[in-house]
């Protein structure tokens, strides 16, 4: 699972598997190429990756009493990350 974080409006959006995902202010966007790679547009944004196993475990634990701390690993996909493809311009 990938999340687009906009540095302008501080919006966080989960990428849609089919469509271009835009932040609230519209200055950043991202789109999956496939299930692993994504194109990213915008000067002030970052793409975050979460392991789907971690997300599923968090969802499964949401109804527990809260006595245990739950965590998930988050990876920031920098411009050098092989799964993040930062683009110039903006998508149609």
Task: Determine the Cα–Cα distance for residues 42 and 62; give it in Å rounded to an integer.
Answer: 34
The two tokens of residue 80 are 């050098």
Task: Determine the Cα–Cα distance for residues 71 and 75; give it in Å rounded to an integer.
Answer: 13
Average pLDDT over residues 24-47: 94
- Find out whether 32 and 38 touch, Cβ atoms under 8 Å: yes
Across 41-45, 51-55, 56-60, which has the greatest mean pLDDT?
A: 41-45
- Does residue 68 surpass a pLDDT of 90? no
Average pLDDT over residues 8-21: 96
What is the model's pTM?
Answer: 0.84
User: Which residue spans within 1-92 are E strands per DSSP?
Assistant: 2-6, 12-14, 21-22, 29-32, 38-41, 45-50, 74-77, 84-87
Identify the residue with better confidence: 66 or 18. Answer: 18
- Find out whether 28 and 44 touch, Cβ atoms under 8 Å: yes
Average pLDDT of the chain is 90
């Amino acid at each position: 699972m990938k999340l687009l974080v906009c540095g302008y409006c501080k919006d966080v959006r989960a990428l849609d598997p089919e469509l271009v995902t835009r932040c609230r202010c519209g200055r950043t966007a991202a789109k999956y190429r496939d299930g692993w790679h994504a194109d990213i547009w915008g000067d002030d944004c970052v793409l975050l990756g979460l392991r789907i196993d971690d997300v599923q475990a968090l969802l499964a634990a949401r109804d527990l009493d809260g006595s245990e701390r739950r965590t998930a690993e988050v990876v920031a996909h920098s411009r050098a990350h092989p799964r993040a493809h930062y683009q110039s311009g903006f998508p149609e």
